[in-house]
Amino acid sequence: MFSGFTAITAGKVFGPNIFNDKEYLTVDTGATSAHRDRVYVTWSKFTESATPQASFFSVPIEVSFSGDGVNWSSAKEISGFGSFCTATISGQPNQCDLNQDSYPAVASNGKVYVSFENFNTLAENQVLVVSSSNGGATWSNPARLDTLFDINYPTNADGRATLTGCQLRYGVKANTATDPSDPTGNTVYVVWADNRNGTAQATNTDVFLGRSTDGGKTWRVYTVDNSLNDQFYPWVAVASDGRVDVGYMDRSYSAGQTECKYGFTLTRLTFDSAGNISTQTRQRVDTGLSDSGHARWFSGTTNGNSRFIGDYNGMAVGSDGFTWTLWTDQRNLVANPPSPTRNHAQHAVGTLTSP
C-alpha cells in the first residue's frame, strides 16, 4: 500500500519515526498571480510511534512554499477531512491521513491544486484533490475525484503490485495539470491508470483523466486509452490553447502478456464547451519496444525480469505547442551482460512531437 513503510519503522524504539517521501514541486508562473515565482513542494509525511501504552501511524500530505528558494514556510498538513475517508488507523473520524503520491500544479491566476492517492477506505482506494486560492495560506478540504482500482493486481517477487507477465513494481497515481488558457484558473486535470477493466490473473490497466471546470469541486472522468493489454505510468500536460496531452507506457504494441515489453503513446484531446471530448488522437512515439523482461538491473532474482523500471515519466508542452516526452527505456543491449537473460540496459529517452 505505502512506499517507504520499512524505512519508517527504523530509528527510535518508541518514535516518533518520520520519513518524508515522494516530494514534488511546482512553480507559479501565472502572469496575473499575486504570488508569481512562488515554489510549492508537497510530500507524504510517514509518521510512526509506539509506546508500551499506545501506537500511532499516519501519512498526511504536507506542503511548504518559498518565494526565493532559500526561506521556506513551515510545513502544513493539507490532506484534510472528508466523509469519504471512512477507515482510520490513528486519525480522527473522517480524517484523510493515509496518503501517497501528491502532485501540485498552479493555475494561471495563482490557484494551487494538489492531487493525491488516499487509503482511508475499506476496499479500493481513491484520488482526492485539495486547493488553495491564497498562495498556500489556507486549503480546502479534499474533493473526491474517483475510485482507484489498485488492489486487484498480481504481486512481484518483492510483494509489490505488478503487471501480468512482469516483475516491475507498479502504482496507479500520476500527476496534476492546469489549463493555461483558462484565466479563471478553474480548469484542472488529474491523470492515472488503474486495473478496473482487468484482474489479478490478467491485468488490463487503462488510462483515465479527471477534469474539473469549477476549481476542483466536481469532476468528470474520461477514458484516455483502453486498448488491449496494459497502458501505464501516464503523465498529463496542457498546451497554451487548452489542448490536453497524455503520454504513457503502452504494452498494446507487444506480443501480449507472455513478454514484458512496452512502447510509448501520446494521446491528445480537446473538449467542447459542454465538456465533451471533441477530438482525440492516439500516436505511438517510441521507435522500438523497451524490454524489461531481460533487464541488467533489479533482476538478479527474477531471471532478467526487472523489479523496477522507474516509476515516473515526464511530459511538457512548449509555448510553440510542441510536446516533450520522457520515459525509462530498456531497448539497448549492454556490453558484458551478467547472463544471457539479463542483457538489456536501463536509461531515459525522450521525443519531441509537433502540434
Cβ-based neighbours of 249, under 8 Å, separated by 6 or more: 230, 231, 232, 233, 262, 263, 264, 265, 290, 313, 327
Measured CA to CA, the distance from residue 15 to residue 303 in angstroms comes to: 39
Instruction: Please give the domain boundaries of the chain with CATH numbers for all domains.
Output: 1-148 (2.120.10.10), 155-355 (no CATH)
Whether this model's pTM surpasses 0.85: yes
Q: What are phi and psi of 252, to 5 degrees?
A: -70, -20
In whole angstroms, give the CA distance from residue 88 to residue 77.
17
DSSP string across 283-328? EE--SS-EEGGGBSSS-TTTTT--S-S-S--EEEE-TTS-EEEEEE
The pLDDT tens digits along the chain (355 residues) read 333 332 323 344 455 788 899 999 999 999 889 999 999 999 999 998 776 666 778 999 999 999 999 999 999 999 999 999 999 998 999 999 999 999 999 999 999 999 999 999 999 999 999 999 999 999 999 999 999 999 999 999 999 999 999 999 999 998 999 999 999 999 999 999 999 999 999 999 999 999 999 999 999 999 999 999 999 999 999 999 999 999 999 999 999 999 999 999 999 999 999 999 999 999 999 999 999 999 999 999 999 999 999 887 999 999 999 999 999 999 999 999 999 999 999 999 999 999 9
What's the confidence (pLDDT) of residue 56?
78
C-alpha grid cell for residue 122? 475499506
Helix then strand then coil, in percent of the chain rounded to 5, is 5, 45, 55
